[in-house]
Structure 1
Amino acid sequence: MPDKDNYDSMEIETIDNSSSANGNLLGQEKFKLHFSNVFYTAKQNNKLVTILNDICGEFQSGRLTAVLGPSGAGKTSILNVLSGFKASGVSGKITFNGKERNSLAYRKVSCYIPQNFALLDLLTVQETMCDSVDLKLSPKTSSEEKEKIIDDIIRILNMEKCRNRLVRNLSGGERKRLSIAIELVTNPPVMFFDEPTSGLDSVSSLQIINYLKRLALDGRIIVCVIHQPSSKLMKLFDDVIVMSRGHVVYSGPKVDMIPTFEEAGFAFPEYYNPADFALEVSSEEHNEQLLSLIQTNKNRYCEQTPPPNESTTNAINENTKILNHSNNHTTIDVQPSSGTKSRRSTHERCRFATMRPKAKVGVCRQMVILTRRSLRTMSRNLIAVQLRVIVHVIVAVLVGAVFWDIGNDGARTLTNISCIFFIIMFIFFGNAMPSILLCPQDTPVFIREYLNGWYSLRAYYASKLTSDLPMLLICPTLFTTIIYFMTSQPDDIVRFAMCWVISIILAIVGHFMGLAFGSTFELQMAILLVPGISIPFMIFSGFFIRINEVSSIFRPLCDISFYRYTMEALIQAIYGYGRPDLQCHREFCYLKSPTKLLKELDMQGDLYGHDIFVLSIWIIFFMVLFFISLVLRVKREQ
């Protein structure tokens, strides 16, 4: 990694996107995001709390803005609201380039990078970038153009060394840079960052803010929440927003912040970090001086917006000097009157990035990309694939050894039914529990990507249906096949196929129940609820007590228990449809006749088709429940 001094004179580069023919040059148009009289209320402890209270301000292209304030001041909330991530409970006027902000159109030209940027740990940096490019750019974009875009972004963010490294093996600074790289694919003119330096050392923090400064100089609006920045970091920022208990205390050029606070009666100590001074001012209890600052900001941005003054020009010049090269052949000159520009040596002029709007990628294409990504991550997941298959095989061999050769023994019929019941339990929980455990890894990534407009909810839902099919076929097939032949069940391909179909259907029921509960509730709650709800239904499966012996009060529970229909279908497949009497090596075998067994269990008649139908209804129910859970998660985050 470069040493600290190299970051002080980091060369300013911009992404060469000459390969893209769509979009507008960021340097040719100035962008402005203005907000006034914005309120944001949310429920906390079943009470409506006003988090943002009548805030006003604006962001301009070509300028790097820091959002400062103590904990609980509303720093993250202002980013959530202005980025469009939070829509419910928001009121006020937000305009982009003088026009009322349209949520759908605005998301195409903006992005929000939260503090805890969710990534798929089992993808490499290259694969993560490729998926981002495929989901965001038009399918008409050639693979050469996409590869060039990826190469440019990786080169500029200095990620060549970790290009083929798994995300889980990246350092904190590399993860931050990757989060920026993912969103740079479309070169959005508006970018929001929530504490991009959180958890990083001073050198890595300076590196990240230098990257953000570089993006701002290309003509973007860059806004980031920053927690207690050093004086060195503060020099990189052009504008500052200071928050205090949901109010904006100050919004404007950084060089005007201290004079404004001093005019309100706050004394600035000599040789003091301006960021620390801003935090101390915003931490004051509501007094006349602080209220005066809040009102001054409202008067400036809510009622009238003054034209750029000399201090604004000075702010740009002052804060850009620290990025100038110390050598003689490269300089940077900012021309605020004609838009923010950077000038380099004659042998290499700065090229402005071309904005690539998020393209309309079809739902089918989105589903293919997401399915490919899911299969790739699953293949590398030790718990989801490798251990899951191994456990199914080991348990199947163990069960087959314990219940060896009992399938055609009339004296051990009840023991064989116990084996069938164990198969049902293992297949259900062996597919429900892994699905619950994998949801906390996938859901945060889905929420971030969906709210940033990467793909539709239908595409993600369809990809989950298709990408999980291989494991839903492999594990129950191995488990059922091994046990079926080790326990000497009927040597009939039709009966084996009937048992196999039921095991697959039961695995799908357990899988979607796990997905539905895992995406709706927190991990611990989901792990508690799935067994807590499903295990009581075992009582009404017909194994512990025959259906005709159940009290009429509980009879409806028998009619909806998916364990009952699974048990019934498997017993029908093994003992029904005219199977001849079983072998009997004792003087008397009471249940050697399959017909008598079915009568004792109250499972007479052709019930297999009916059982398949009811279990299919359960699958549809949990699939719909899973879709509803995704919708609720999205609404909960907005």
Structure 2
Amino acid sequence: MSVKARDDKPSTSSSIVVGCCQSSSTTPENSIVDYIEEDLEAPNNNTLFHAANIIENGEKIPVGIISKKKASIDFTFPKRPKVDIEFQDVRYTVKTFSFKQREFEKKEILHGVSGSFRSGQLVAIMGPSGAGKSTLLNILAGYVETGVSGKITVNGKNRSSNSENFRNASAYIHQDDALRPYLTVREAMIVAAHLKLGFSVTKEYKLQLIHSILELLGLETRFNTECGRLSGGQKKRMSIALELISNPSNVFLDEPTTGLDSSSCTSCISLLKRLAQEGRTIVCTIHQPSALVFEMFDKLYAVSQGNCIYQGPIKELVPFMSDHGLECPSYHNPADFLIEIAVGEYDVDMSKMMAGAVKKFNEERDTYYLGTFSRDNYILADAGENFDNGKVAVYKFGTVDNNNEDINVKRYRISRGSKDDGRKFRIKNPNERASIFMQFLILFERNFKASIRNAFLIYARLITHICIAPMFGYLYHNVGYDATHTFGNYVYLYGSILLIVYTGKMSVVLSFPLEMETLRREHFNRWYNLIPYYFSIILFEIPFQLLCTFFYVCGSYFLTGNYLENYRFALFTTMCLLATISAQAWGFFIGSTMSIKIAVFIGPILAVLFSVFGFCTRYVDINRMFQWMWHISYFRAGFHGVLDTVYGMNRTDLWCPPQTEFNYCHFRKPDVFLREVSISGFETYKNIYLMTGVIITMHILTILTLWFKLNKR
């Protein structure tokens, strides 16, 4: 690690000078952390970034964050390719159903906006609520694709729909923090490092990188704190820290200052400014920033009612508004004044502001390309010739003719991402993600730790099965071998299946609804694939549910007197286990397809529907319209299976008490009882095949449903 000191020249002016967001010095590419050594106490928080640039009477002073001078830590990531984003005539349309018109209607949210965000810039998309700023951010990040039209290019090349290369170079941080509350900061960072960086880098490098990022974000003192115990500002910084591990070239943030106090807001935006200075493209939406926070941004993109009303540097906003007859009052926050204009508090022709914004976009674009091609003596053609058929017209200077002092100009055309040339945005990801198997192991360990620490649900499920087992056992004590209590045993078997079906289904029906937001964000940011995540969930839930069911069976089966041979107990246990896992598979499917409120309602309804078939209901008595449910009912298969293991398979005659009238027991022979309940002739292995098929089918459908939700843009 290199060590260097900051050399700031103090101002001689007696007034306060805000030297906002100066560029950080360059460092070697292999350097991770450079420490600034001064004779002052060094803080572990880069919230002082702007405070270090404020000078009064030749001395640096703090800005409401610290009470004395401190130094900060300069952090430099390995270099990543720079990413410039440009979009033209972007429109977003949604379909809504009108009950009044009784048809679908189209509503346009964005009305052909254009703009460009360059690397090294901290860009703010600002506007009032409902203006379309979050929609625009989602489109640029690739989070929304359906209903989008227009052209989006990255480094001059077309960005394809759902571009994997673009997502490799990007990170999207949502407004709401979806952290794993039961993991510590250290554990969450290590999991992210293993998933994002794979195992091609050493553990020491990962730990060093983690410590450096946490120091940069001021979270090193929270190293062993659970994420759920972090404050609002710390959670926001933690969300950023998790995505910085992959060193993205561009970062999108949806209202990162929401819910934070002024100090935390300044801290958060200072961090983003530092990241942008290292060459990243940082784009974030912001509602109404303070004057200090507003000045930290390099570029502003203002939207109102789906239209762009300004785009350009922050320092040019006030002159731009002045050109349109809108004088910002003295000591008035320009951001507040712009919001007031956007909501229509001033009588202003918004079409002129939109035209002015388009003009600034064209000027900025031409200036940028002129600077880009000047190294090769290229100059852009007139704006009218720029984007014909996806190509940019440029000229190359020839030699100067001294006689007439004219310049011989030759015209060239260079590709700017034409669809015809097949060029698309590509960027090599220097980090290889963990393999599918390693993703599974990492996610399984994470899920196991979180579940153990949130042990109340686990203990509740386990204790419930253990406690109900002796209750059922003593309630139906010794009914298994008594011919006079056959229907009592029948009810015990039905109640047992009902219990394990409900506990198997309802214990997991909320798994995916509660996890969906976190899953969607982590999957979109390419932490892992869906398959290892899904298996990390079910391979924890399935064994635990099997364990709970096994405890219940062992605790109740023998007390009821059903035990005769070992193979009968083994088959009885197998049928119970298959029934509860079938119900659990249905629970996963219901949870993945429905919202929380609907899932907790539909789950019991389906359990009741399936439980009707097979219990005191003969197949011949079922209406033909519903006979198909009899065939696919896992409840019926499990119930008939346990009946067959208890009373079928050539079981010997049941015991008939001597005091019975006439010494007669109608159900002395088990086959008589099976015929009475209309399940004689059924073969147990068919029920096993049915429940196994239900388990496999429902898990496949759940995976397909989750895949569709995660890839629906």
TM-score bracket relative to the smaller structure:
0.7 to 0.9
**Counterpart-to-counterpart distance in 2, 1:37 and 1:303:** 16
Deviation at 1:272, TM superposition (A): 0.4
Q: Among 519, 526, 543, which residue is 1:453 paired with? A: 526
Structure 1 residues 618, 217: closer, same or farther in 2, change over 3 A?
Answer: same
Q: How does 1:555-566 map to 2 (within 5 A)?
A: 555-566=627-638
Amino acid at match of 2:351: L
Contact conserved, 2:611 with 2:635, CA < 8 A, in 1?
yes
Deviation at 1:567, TM superposition (A): 0.9
Q: How does 1:535-546 map to 2 (within 5 A)?
A: 535-541=608-614, 543-546=615-618
Deviation at 1:552, TM superposition (A): 4.6
Q: Does 1:284 align with 2:344?
A: yes
Contact conserved, 2:252 with 2:284, CA < 8 A, in 1?
yes
CA deviations 1:222-259 (Å, max 9, x no partner) are 11111211112112111111111111111110001111
Q: Does 1:363 align with 2:423?
A: no
Q: How does 1:3-402 map to 2 (within 5 A)?
A: 4-6=64-66, 11=71, 13-15=73-75, 17=77, 25-26=79-80, 30-45=82-97, 46-102=104-160, 103-284=163-344, 289-301=349-361, 305-307=365-367, 357-402=430-475
Deviation at 1:114, TM superposition (A): 0.5
Structure 1 residues 504, 7: closer, same or farther in 2, change over 3 A?
Answer: farther
Q: Does 1:513 align with 2:586?
A: yes
Deviation at 1:488, TM superposition (A): 2.0
Q: Does 1:621 align with 2:697?
A: yes
Q: Does 1:480 align with 2:532?
A: no
Could you tell which deviates more after superposition, 575-584 or 286-295?
A: 286-295
Q: Could you say what secondary structure the match of 2:151 adopts? A: strand
**Counterpart-to-counterpart distance in 2, 1:422 and 1:7:** 69
Amino acid at match of 1:413: T
**Counterpart-to-counterpart distance in 2, 1:593 and 1:43:** 66
Contact conserved, 1:36 with 1:301, CA < 8 A, in 2?
no
**Counterpart-to-counterpart distance in 2, 1:551 and 1:282:** 63
Could you tell which deviates more after superposition, 70-79 or 374-383?
A: 374-383
Structure 1 residues 287, 625: closer, same or farther in 2, change over 3 A?
Answer: farther
CA deviations 1:301-353 (Å, max 9, x no partner) are 368714269xxxxxxxxxxxxxxxxxxxxxxxxxxxxxxxxxxxxxxxxxxxx
Amino acid at match of 2:292: K
Q: Among 676, 680, 687, which residue is 1:604 paired with? A: 680
Contact conserved, 2:461 with 2:548, CA < 8 A, in 1?
yes
Contact conserved, 2:82 with 2:249, CA < 8 A, in 1?
no
Q: Could you say what secondary structure the match of 1:305 adopts? A: helix
Contact conserved, 2:513 with 2:594, CA < 8 A, in 1?
no
**Counterpart-to-counterpart distance in 2, 1:420 and 1:407:** 10
Structure 1 unaligned regions, length at least 5: 18-23, 310-354
TM-score (norm 2): 0.78
In the other structure, the counterpart of 1:581 is 653
**Counterpart-to-counterpart distance in 2, 1:303 and 1:400:** 83
Deviation at 1:285, TM superposition (A): 8.1
In the other structure, the counterpart of 2:481 is 408
Q: Could you say what secondary structure the match of 2:287 adopts? A: coil
**Counterpart-to-counterpart distance in 2, 1:578 and 1:472:** 31
**Counterpart-to-counterpart distance in 2, 1:169 and 1:402:** 46
**Counterpart-to-counterpart distance in 1, 2:112 and 2:67:** 39
**Counterpart-to-counterpart distance in 2, 1:568 and 1:244:** 65
In the other structure, the counterpart of 2:537 is 464
Structure 1 residues 440, 10: closer, same or farther in 2, change over 3 A?
Answer: farther
User: Larger radius of gyration, structure 1 or 2?
Assistant: 2
Q: Among 526, 532, 543, which residue is 2:599 paired with? A: 526
Amino acid at match of 2:274: R
TM-score (norm 1): 0.87
Q: Does 1:632 align with 2:708?
A: yes
Deviation at 1:288, TM superposition (A): 6.3
Amino acid at match of 2:93: T
Structure 1 residues 505, 383: closer, same or farther in 2, change over 3 A?
Answer: farther
Contact conserved, 1:37 with 1:302, CA < 8 A, in 2?
no
Identity %: 32
Where is the strand percentage greater, Structure 1 or Structure 2? Answer: 2
Structure 1 residues 490, 433: closer, same or farther in 2, change over 3 A?
Answer: same
**Counterpart-to-counterpart distance in 2, 1:531 and 1:66:** 48
CA deviations 1:371-403 (Å, max 9, x no partner) are 222222222233542211111112222222212
Contact conserved, 2:76 with 2:278, CA < 8 A, in 1?
no
RMSD over equivalenced CA pairs, Å: 2.4
**Counterpart-to-counterpart distance in 2, 1:56 and 1:483:** 70
Where is the helix percentage greater, Structure 1 or Structure 2? Answer: 1
Q: Does 1:432 align with 2:508?
A: no
**Counterpart-to-counterpart distance in 2, 1:31 and 1:562:** 54
Deviation at 1:545, TM superposition (A): 2.3
Q: Could you say what secondary structure the match of 2:318 adopts? A: helix
Contact conserved, 2:256 with 2:286, CA < 8 A, in 1?
yes
**Counterpart-to-counterpart distance in 2, 1:357 and 1:401:** 65
CA deviations 1:145-185 (Å, max 9, x no partner) are 11111111111111122211222211111111110000000
